[in-house]
Structures are given as C-alpha cells and as structure tokens.
Amino acid sequence: MVTVAASAVFADALAPSTWVAMKPLPHQGHSAIFGLAVDPANNQVLIAGNSEGSLLRSTNGGSTWTSAHSGKAVATTIMFSPFTPGFVLAGTRGSGGLVSKDGGATWSVANGLDGRIVRTFAFSLTLVAAGTDKGVFVSQDGSSWSQSGLANASIDALAVAAVHTPIRMLAGSDGPLSAGTLPMFQTADGGATWSALNPAISGTYVVKLAAGPLPPVGDTRPLIAGTNAGLFASTDNGVSFAPLSGGNQLPPTDYSQVAFITDHFDRFYVASDGGGSGAGGLWRTNDAGQTFISLVPPMRSITALAVSNDESPTLYVATFRPSDHVAALWIYRDTGGTPQGPFGAPTGVASGSRTSHESAGGSSVLDIFKSSQTPYIGLGLGALAIVLLAVVSHLRSRRR
C-alpha cells in the first residue's frame, strides 16, 4: 500500500508537459530499446527489455529496476492486455514469446512459438494473436499457441478491428506480394482463414497497425496503418484508407508506434524513428488525425513508446541516436500544454553497469583537493608563487 501511494505522489509530481530524462536502463549497451510497456492499471509499472535479453520491471516509473526474467534474446515487443489485468506478453528476436499473468513480476515460456521472431501482439476479448517471421499464431491464454495462417509471410503488424466474435483482424507484412502491392491481410473468423487486402496505400511494407476504441456512434473501430512511406487511417475496417501524413501535417516517413488514449477514439499518439533520415518524432492528435501537434522529443528517433491509461497520460519514450549509439529513456506527462524541457540531458549508456561522467563545471574545489594529482598541483602552485615573488622583487628594485 505504501508503494502504491508513493507511486501516485510521484506521478502527480511530474511537471506538466515537460520532458524529463530517466535513468539509463541497466545493462542496455549501445543498442536501441524496442520492448517497453506500461501497465494500463498503474502508470508506474513498467516492463522493458535490455540488450542482454533480460526483462526488467519497475514499480516506480523507472526510478529503479529489478530483473524479472533473464534471457539471451532481445525483446522486440512487450504488450499488456487491455482486457485482462496483469496479463502481459513479450516477443523476442528468435526465442519465441514469454507470458506473465502477474503484471510482469514472473514470466514463463509461451509454448508453440519456439524459435520464432515475434514482433507484435494483438488482443481481443477471447483470443490473442502474435505476428511472427512465419505468419500469425493465435492463443486463448497466451501460454499455448498454434499456427493461424500466412506461414509464408513475415508479419510485422497486427490489429484487432472487432474484439467480439466473430473476431476481425488485420495483418501487415514486410514482404510485398507483387510489385506495387502493399502486403496486408484480413480475417473475419478469428484467424481460421485469411485473404489478401489490397488498400490504396503508399509504401512497400507495413510497419504498424493499431485499432482504437469504438466511437460514440457506429460499430466500427478506427484503424491506423503505418508504412515505410507514411501514416493512414481507415473507418471501414480497412476497405479504404485516407492519408494522414504529407503536406503540412506529418512527414512521409515510417511510423512504427501508435497508441490510442483510454476510451477516446479520436485521441492518439504516433511516433517514428525516421528510418535513419532524421525525420522521426512524436506527435499527438485530438481530432482523429485532422491535425497533429509535435511533442518535440529531446531526440527525434523514437524506438519505443508506452502510454498510460489516463486522461492526462504519462508517456515513456525510448530514443536512439545513431551517431554515437546512445539509447535513452524519457518521461513526459501530457497535460495538453506546450512541450517544455528537458531539464537534463540523457546519460550515455555503456555496456555493463551504469557509469557517471560529470562535466568540469560540476566539479567542486573539494573534489580537486581529493584528486590523486593533488601533490603535483601543489608543486606547480609553489613554483608559480616563487616566480611571482621574483618578478615583484625585480620590479621593486628597478623603481629604486
């Protein structure tokens, strides 16, 4: 109970709409962070994957981390179920999936995904889907998985458009079916059968798919598709898409992160790592994509985004700077104001334990005298004093 109370105080204490640098992820190394998730029931509970293959858990908004699972494969995705409290899944690069039923405190291997690259998950009320390098797999409990279809496709993106039976899903691949055809698929029977979907969207592969909550009127969830060439929206289950990027809105780049806000079908965040072009960033819309506002992240290449389930959500953002391979974590409580900060710059991440390098401006006189170079500094000061005395004596003798 004390921990929960302290967490609430910490969340309220964050400066509104201000970027704050978080402590580096333990043992991250010089590689990007791709696995990052926040518990929908508690905006202080985070799960992250580091470059050593471990899953780390924080219960205080990333102030401290504990190891929840030790592995050898890097986490490619971590996702909490929006329907089942404490249910969270993690996908890895070549070692299948992991499942937790207690909010990420303990983990077990997901049977049936062995050896797979698992890039994404999607949740319905009764079924969970996983996008892998060998098609789509489905499960009822996240522990036992079976092949659903598209075994010859490498799936990067999944979204559940209808969470009740019959379950409707969309899947996106990174390999085109043919020249000029975007590789997207659909199922209206929970993955029993799949068919090709050929939307008029620019791009050669699908990076991200996301479905929002139902609008107040109607029974069709909004769908957002990110490709390697832009961002698009659909209000008819993927039959047609309208571009959201280009012009004066968003840059035509790859969009790998999409997160809707609570029960608001028209409020969501999108982010991009820029694909190495420098066109990455993080944006918010409050009007279903008619207009976007840049949140001006401290680093433009966004590799992971976790958004809490609050009216004024807390954003946890992973960035990566290719020029010097610095991976950083940031926290931002979005109250709708003009983005401010950051108060501090991110600390470079070194392989192994965290190291601290402070600038000369942060050193004190006491630190200088504690230095191992103190004897040499003393000798130098003494010699300088003798020289100054000689100069003064010479000047006085000339005046006489």
Q: What is the domain-level CATH number for residue 10?
A: 2.130.10.10
Residue in the structure block whose two tokens are 């690259």: 117
Report whether pLDDT(7) > 60.
no
pLDDT at position 277, please?
Answer: 75
pLDDT band at 33 (very low <50, low <70, confident <90, very high): very high
Report whether pLDDT(225) > 70.
yes
Backbone angles phi, psi at 357, to 5 degrees: -125, 115
> What does the alpha-carbon distance between residue 270 and residue 258 come to, in Å, rounded to a whole number?
5
Cα of 141 vs its chain's centroid, Å: 25
Are 231 and 210 in contact by the 8 Å Cβ rule? The answer is: no
SS3 of residue 257 by DSSP:
strand
pLDDT band at 42 (very low <50, low <70, confident <90, very high): very high
Are 171 and 182 in contact by the 8 Å Cβ rule? The answer is: no
Residue-number span of the structural domain to which 90 is assigned = 2-357
Is the Cα dihedral 186, 190, 194, 195 positive or negative? negative
Give the predicted TM-score (pTM) of the model. Answer: 0.82
Query: DSSP label at 391?
Result: H
pLDDT band at 336 (very low <50, low <70, confident <90, very high): very high
Q: Which residues contact 253 (CB under 8 A, 6 or more apart)?
A: 229, 230, 245, 272, 274, 275, 277, 279, 280
Mean pLDDT of 198-224: 92
Phi-psi category of residue 136: left, alpha or beta, with phi > 0 → left and psi -120 to 50 → alpha: beta
The verdict on 177 and 49 lying in the same domain is: yes
Mean pLDDT of 25-43: 93
The verdict on 39 and 57 lying in the same domain is: yes
- The DSSP result for 115-157, as a single string, is T-BEEEEEE-SS-EEEEETTEEEEESSSSB-EEEE-TTS-EEE
pLDDT digits (tens, 9 = 90+) for 61-114: 999 999 999 998 999 999 999 999 999 999 999 999 999 999 999 999 999 999
Count how many Cα atoms sit within 13 Å of the Cα of residue 88 in the half-sphere of its side chain: 27
* Residues found in the chain: 400
The verdict on 44 and 183 lying in the same domain is: yes
Q: How far is CA 29 from CA 13, 24, 47, 51, 138, in A?
A: 30, 10, 17, 6, 33
Nearest to 330 by CA among 338, 322, 343, 253: 343
pLDDT at position 249, please?
Answer: 81
Are 140 and 127 in contact by the 8 Å Cβ rule? The answer is: yes
The verdict on 9 and 41 lying in the same domain is: yes
Are 301 and 280 in contact by the 8 Å Cβ rule? The answer is: yes
pLDDT at position 199, please?
Answer: 86
Are 68 and 56 in contact by the 8 Å Cβ rule? The answer is: yes
The verdict on 378 and 278 lying in the same domain is: no
User: 2-6, 51-55, 363-367 — which one is most confidently predicted on average?
Assistant: 51-55
The verdict on 24 and 95 lying in the same domain is: yes
> What mean pLDDT value characterizes the chain?
84
The verdict on 382 and 294 lying in the same domain is: no
pLDDT at position 360, please?
Answer: 31
Report whether pLDDT(245) > 80.
yes
Task: Assign 3-state DSSP to the chain and report helix, strand, coil percentages, each to 5.
Answer: 10, 40, 50
Nearest to 180 by CA among 197, 195, 198: 198
Q: Which two tokens stand for residue 191?
A: 């993955």
The verdict on 247 and 385 lying in the same domain is: no
Query: DSSP label at 168?
Result: E
Residue in the structure block whose two tokens are 């508690």: 42
SS3 of residue 49 by DSSP:
strand
Domain count, the chain: 2
The verdict on 241 and 215 lying in the same domain is: yes
pLDDT band at 248 (very low <50, low <70, confident <90, very high): confident
The verdict on 341 and 221 lying in the same domain is: yes
User: 175-179, 195-199, 360-364 — which one is most confidently predicted on average?
Assistant: 195-199
Residue in the structure block whose two tokens are 């929206």: 233
The verdict on 344 and 373 lying in the same domain is: no
Going across the sheet that includes 326-333, the strands are 19-21, 326-333, 314-321, 302-307
The verdict on 30 and 164 lying in the same domain is: yes
